[in-house]
Amino acid sequence: MARSSIVLTLAFGAQSVWSFTAPFLRTSVPNQKQLFSAVAEEAPVEAQAEPKDATQPFVMTVTERARTVAKACISGTLGTACSNQEAAPFGSHVDFILDEKGWPVMLLNEYAMHTKNVEVDPRASLFAQMPSKAGEGQPVAAMERVTIMGEVVPVTDQDELFTLRATYSVTHQFATSLVESDKFKFVKLKPSRIFYSAGFGVNAQWIDMATYEDAVADPLALEQLALVNKINRESSSDLLALCTQFIPGLESGLYGVKCTGVDRLGMDLRVEAGDRTEIYRVGFQVAALSLEDAKSEVTKIFQEAWEKENGNEWEDMGPPVLKTGRDILHSD
């Protein structure tokens, strides 16, 4: 395996991307194209148990994605049955964290309407969506989201309450004094069903509850938004080159590419070509353990696209790519 260390301030087209020192792995996976097809079949969207597919190790499972969204979000909309109406749904803002099982933990005021509602009917749902910055990245409708349905249960274990007071206050610093007040109580939403959407209805499905509690959230969950926005803001020409050079069928008619997500295994692209919008997964050669690793992997992909565009090619060039969805207006 050829390996060299380079100090990167790389420009693709006329754009500078990032400056950092990183190892450059030219062929980190031997015979990569024998392992991955350039573009595999479109991924199914039916809810199902999700064993890792050995031929697609660069794709997170839907359950992992749902757990990642739940971890990255620290607030959402709690839906409860309004106690003074005909069970009409009542939506309200809540802040939360996750426990080790992935259950949302909330600190509720005893006088709040949602608290009164769950005292009568503990059934509830929590809607949470990945944040987006105005003017950057994707529109809000394109962001991943989850709806967690279940039953609100009290937290009574004193050791757990002691831990929650500390961990909740780290995430929600405004609550430092509230966690000690007898007017606020910790409760959990015990999940019974979870619905995930990748945005714009893409890959919207119920997830496999048998694997949710053991699923591991992506380590980039809390940092990836800034990286996604930076890619979209500064590397639009590199995104176009990536698609035209490494995704068959997109050599022409391409007029819009946005990065919608980055995780430890790869990046997701929303591609507009002709009258169609399609979603592609682009895999990393090496799993990223940190944000700097992810930057390095993205830079390698852009570099290879730039080199191929300029007539420099070699065996096993390019990342693994998978079409994962298309817009609902043109679904077959």
pLDDT digit string (tens) for 187-228?
A: 999 999 999 998 877 779 999 998 999 999 999 987 888 898
Q: Higher pLDDT residue, 278 or 146?
A: 146
User: What dihedral do alpha carbons 110, 111, 112, 114 form, nearest 10°?
Assistant: 60
The tally of CA atoms less than 13 A away on the side-chain side of residue 10 is 23
> Could you read off the pLDDT of 266-307 as tens digits, one per residue?
999 988 887 788 889 999 999 999 999 999 999 999 999 999
- Amino acid of residue 252: S
For the cut 50, the answer to whether the pLDDT of residue 69 exceeds it is yes
Q: Mean pLDDT across the stretch 82-109?
A: 91
- The DSSP H or E segment spanning 59 is none
Could you tell me the pTM of the whole model?
Answer: 0.75
CB 165 within 8 A of CB 172: no
pLDDT at 275: 76
pLDDT at 223: 86
Q: Mean pLDDT across the stretch 105-118?
A: 96
For the cut 70, the answer to whether the pLDDT of residue 250 exceeds it is yes
Which DSSP string corresponds to 44-72?
A: P-S----PPPTT-TTS--HHHHHHHHHHH
pLDDT at 277: 83
List Cβ neighbours of 284 (8 Å cut-off, separation of 6 or more): 58, 264, 265, 266, 267, 294, 297, 301, 319
CB 20 within 8 A of CB 296: yes
- How far is the C-alpha of 188 from the C-alpha of 103, rounded, in Å? 6
Q: How far is CA 198 from CA 73, 268, 332, in A?
A: 15, 10, 19
User: Shortest CA distance to 301 belongs to which of 319, 314, 279?
Assistant: 319
Radius of gyration from C-alpha coordinates of the chain: 22
For the cut 60, the answer to whether the pLDDT of residue 35 exceeds it is no
pLDDT band at 39 (very low <50, low <70, confident <90, very high): very low
pLDDT at 260: 85
- The DSSP H or E segment spanning 13 is none
User: Shortest CA distance to 303 belongs to which of 38, 59, 26, 33?
Assistant: 26
Extract the tokens encoding 43: 């991924």
pLDDT at 256: 86
125 pairs with which residues across the strands? 79, 149
pLDDT at 71: 92
For the cut 50, the answer to whether the pLDDT of residue 134 exceeds it is no
Other Cβ atoms closer than 10 A to 154: 12
Segments of 172-275 assigned E as strands? 184-197, 205-206, 254-262, 266-273
Using DSSP, state whether 198 is helix, strand or coil.
Answer: coil
For the cut 90, the answer to whether the pLDDT of residue 52 exceeds it is no
pLDDT at 137: 53
Average predicted confidence (pLDDT) for the chain:
81
- How far is the C-alpha of 1 from the C-alpha of 30, rounded, in Å? 8
Instruction: Give percent of the chain above pLDDT 90.
Output: 58
